[in-house]
Structure 1
């Protein structure tokens, strides 16, 4: 397989700066997911690696060799599009065989490879069918199979299951994960769906406004977001973010959220001083980091349940804290109804602090 490296890659569309000094290494046999909102540059970056877009400056290397000046056909990289791009007048077999015939592969080899790939994708029984008779999931399997028959050095996938329904997307995620484990191909996958990214990726590349915001494992980007954008883009529901002030009171560090003050370990003050943190701070805490109790306990503050969203195994509850809302995750049915009074505190180990102006995480860890 192959290692892919991007060095100082830049790309403009007219006056629009689409890719801004991107530096990234995708390791051999790694599954990397580009994640970000529409228009962030992730698909353009993928197409540049494939040779479908020219870059303005920088280098794209495949196994250490620059390929930015090679034609797409000469890069030995396969690309799977969102819209399948199958030949409607060909059977499934002919669609799978086409890339092999184009490079002069023998008939016996074609037959062996097509059947092997068809078996791994579970579409052997469809080889005589035409695309018009296939379901969306089967068409996507054929599109992926057409890329795999070439045994490319790298496989690039541009939102390949984005148009499928939720149940089928779940099935295809498992199929893609299985195929990657079986084939060990170096893969880059583009999506705006964080569930796909979290479930598929060895590493996630979070992009925004043409720049890499953070590169890390799914656990790293979820538990330790590098900035406010990543903190609010990763996770569903999103992380609670609020401007805050920190002071000392009763042997604790107190953080202020509207009219309420929550206690955190006194160590926080020293950490903020060590980081030379500005006064303009933002607190971030995920819903599971907001601890809720039916009884008044040390460190807990009274709040009122506002909106309860049941999700089967758990509830997402909006808690009113003065004029602000703090979203918490509780066990199913833990709070009976909107308007109930409960008590809440913030888990120190799940509290994040950001410089509000720059958005950068202060990388403070409490309770670890």
Structure 2
């Protein structure tokens, strides 16, 4: 078992508060991804777990035992850096064997372990090569292998594939997920790339300014963002966000976005009243929740295609409704050209409401 728990962890670099009262439990064999913009505290938190940074206050526990006062070498946690950190004068075999030799492992055990890890990583044919002869992807495999040979309780990875090209990153994402299943280590992975986070994580920890914004499965943080930051950080393209006013009209709820208005189910009014949502509201809707039609239908509003971005299997279309622009996702070629007139509405189940001042989600969920 390898459960990692952070209790009220704080960290300062001088006057800068880098980690702010972080509380988190990473379950045994779970793959958790720390996601957030540069400078949000995710790497510092990872390094604190590894013992590479000292925390100011709080506790870090591994299997229920405090480890914040232990040296990094005594924590049974492996760390994979972004820059590979391989010994250039060693062969791949020697790089993989080094952590085992450092703790006095026997020669036969080293050979068995190195070849086993090399096989699982697909680098057996490279064991006699030096790092200078390897591609970026192969060097990263060796760096990961050097962490895995120790069979650590936990594996920490700090943007390990961030410097690779797009195709190689995709390949390595698949390999990392496979290795996680095969080795069963509790894993924490740091990235600013939401595609990596969504595809790899059992749970995502979204951070900003040293604070945990939301912890949940990829589906939860995408479909039910906890606040405006998460709503706009997760998703590509980002969620449409606009100040809105809600009123009653013809037995339905009417939401007004600058010069555009849409109708939503009347139960929205009761939900807002129940939440005591009397302040400024913001509406959020992802592009796939902005429905587009060539025909004028009840509840749809006329719009003009302002910009079309083809993505191959789908298009992202900016729709101008009066002075307001909404970004919609359509099938490829559905809107022929810029300037075309179409009709649009907001899918009720895709409408999110936030308190504009605090940024918190009101957790209102409507049906279509």
- Same-fold status (TM-score > 0.5): yes
* 1:121-160, Cα deviation, whole Å (9 max, x unpaired): 0000000000000000000000000000000000000000
SS of alignment partner, residue 162 of structure 1: coil
Output the CA distance in 2 between the equivalents of 1:156 and 1:29: 12
The answer for the alignment partner of 1:191 in structure 2 is 191
The answer for the alignment partner of 1:289 in structure 2 is 289
Written as runs of structure 1 = structure 2, the 5 A alignment for 1:1-368 is 1-367=1-367
Output the CA distance in 2 between the equivalents of 1:107 and 1:331: 59
SS of alignment partner, residue 141 of structure 1: helix
Are the aligned partners of 2:260 and 2:324 in contact in 1 as well (CA < 8 Å)?
no
* 1:83-117, Cα deviation, whole Å (9 max, x unpaired): 00000000000000000000000000000000000
Gaps of 5+ in 1: none
Are the aligned partners of 1:81 and 1:160 in contact in 2 as well (CA < 8 Å)?
yes
Output the CA distance in 2 between the equivalents of 1:178 and 1:230: 28
TM normalised by structure 1 equals 0.99
Gaps of 5+ in 2: none
* Structure 1 residue 279, shift from structure 2 partner: 3.1
Output the CA distance in 2 between the equivalents of 1:290 and 1:65: 49
* 1:158-207, Cα deviation, whole Å (9 max, x unpaired): 00000000000000000000000111110000000000000000000000
TM normalised by structure 2 equals 0.99
Are the aligned partners of 2:206 and 2:212 in contact in 1 as well (CA < 8 Å)?
yes
Are the aligned partners of 2:34 and 2:189 in contact in 1 as well (CA < 8 Å)?
yes
User: Considering only aligned residues, what root-mean-square deviation do their CA atoms show, in Å?
Assistant: 0.6
* Structure 1 residue 251, shift from structure 2 partner: 1.1
Q: Which runs of 4+ in 1 moved over 3 A?
A: none
Are the aligned partners of 1:257 and 1:321 in contact in 2 as well (CA < 8 Å)?
no
* 1:247-282, Cα deviation, whole Å (9 max, x unpaired): 011111000012121000000000000000023000
Are the aligned partners of 1:310 and 1:332 in contact in 2 as well (CA < 8 Å)?
yes
Output the CA distance in 2 between the equivalents of 1:123 and 1:97: 14
Count, aligned residues:
368
* 1:31-65, Cα deviation, whole Å (9 max, x unpaired): 00000000000000000000000000000000000
Output the CA distance in 2 between the equivalents of 1:324 and 1:113: 61
Output the CA distance in 1 between the equivalents of 2:307 and 2:323: 14
